[in-house]
Structures are given as structure tokens and as C-alpha cells.
């Protein structure tokens, strides 16, 4: 018995892992012939496994098709969120029949995805998600001004056009 997993013998854990690996491999190898996602959300999850010096992670792509149906598109092990890892995932998806890139892809800073997608499909727009950016800005401010700063930051990224966004920005930085 394993102390970290009471009731599970090492042989049981190995068998479960083999089954999960087989299921993942089958899913990753599925046919995507004729599939196109017009929107993609991408993110990477870093895993500190302490097995090696290199930090590995899980790269995830969720897509929405033209009818608005969401699906898990890609799940891949990669080195952090680096462009070569994202490119390997994207090219593998294309080898399985995924149509050219989405009209819009968004991530929380997975810049490697944008760098990897650009040479493969230069038509995809790649804005950055404001949530992590807002959180980083707020973390630098005193707690007592964070609620007002949150409202002012949201006014910037929710502005209907550039002119109003610039006005909201001016208000945010005003003393």
C-alpha cells in the first residue's frame, strides 16, 4: 500500500496510469478532419514535479466552433509555455485534420502560443487577456485604493472604442 494513496497498491496505480495514458493518446490522435474553431482560449499550467531541472507543463486549447459549441481541442505536455511547445501542439492538431487557425485566440499571457501560431497561420488575432494584467497592477497598489482602481481599469478595457478607452486611461492615472 502507498501511504499517499491508501487502498491503492503500486500495481494498481501503474495499471491506472497506463489506462489513462492510453486514453489520452487515443484522444490526442483522434481525427479532426474538417473541424474549425473560430475562437480559441489557450493556457498553460506549469507543473513543478521536481523530477528534473526543466519545468514541464500542460498546454490546453479550448475552441468554439461557428455555432458557439465549445470543445477541448488540445492537451499536450510542453516545456512551460514556450513557442516551440505550442507550435508542436498546433502542428499535431493540423496533422490530425484541424482546419487553419482561429479568427481570434486569447490567453493570459501565453505569448509563446501567439509566436508559434503566427508563422503557421498569420491571420489569427491575438489580444491579451486583461484579467491577469489587472491583477498585477492592483497588486502594486495600496489596498485602500484597489476598489476604485479596479473600477477605473475595467472602464478602460470595457470602453466601446479607443477614444473612450484613452479617456478612461487618463482618469486612471490622474492623481
CA dist 64 and 131 (Å) reads 20
Q: What is the SS3 string spanning the chain? A: CECCECCCCHHHHHHHHHHHHHHHHHHHCCCCCCCCCCEEEEEEEEECCCCCCCCEEEEEEEEECCCCCEEEEEEEEEECCCHHHHHHHHHHHHHCCCCCCCCEEEECCCHHHHHHHHHHCCCCECCECHHHHHHHHHHCCCHHHHHHHHHHHHHHHCCCCHHHHHHHHHHHHCC
pLDDT for res 1: 47
Which residues of the chain are under the pLDDT cut of 70?
1-6, 48-55, 109-111, 119-122, 126-129
Query: Domain boundaries in the chain?
Result: 1-30, 32-120, 130-173
pLDDT for res 11: 84
Amino acid at each position: 500500500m502507498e501511504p499517499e494513496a491508501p487502498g491503492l497498491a503500486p500495481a494498481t496505480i501503474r495499471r491506472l496510469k497506463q489506462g489513462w495514458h492510453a486514453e489520452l493518446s487515443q484522444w490526442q490522435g483522434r481525427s479532426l478532419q474538417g473541424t474549425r474553431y473560430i475562437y480559441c482560449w489557450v493556457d498553460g499550467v506549469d507543473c513543478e514535479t521536481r523530477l528534473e531541472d526543466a519545468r514541464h507543463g500542460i498546454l490546453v486549447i479550448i475552441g468554439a466552433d461557428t455555432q458557439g459549441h465549445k470543445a477541448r481541442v488540445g492537451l499536450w505536455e510542453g516545456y512551460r509555455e514556450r513557442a516551440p511547445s505550442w507550435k508542436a501542439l498546433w502542428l499535431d492538431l493540423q496533422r490530425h485534420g484541424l482546419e487553419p487557425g482561429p479568427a481570434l485566440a486569447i490567453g493570459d499571457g501565453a505569448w509563446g502560443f501567439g509566436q508559434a501560431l503566427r508563422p503557421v497561420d498569420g491571420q489569427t488575432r491575438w489580444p491579451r487577456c486583461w484579467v491577469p494584467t489587472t491583477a498585477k497592477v492592483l497588486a502594486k497598489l495600496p489596498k485602500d485604493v484597489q476598489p476604485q482602481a479596479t473600477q477605473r481599469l475595467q472602464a478602460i478595457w470595457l470602453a466601446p472604442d479607443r477614444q473612450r478607452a484613452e479617456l478612461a486611461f487618463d482618469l486612471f492615472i490622474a492623481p
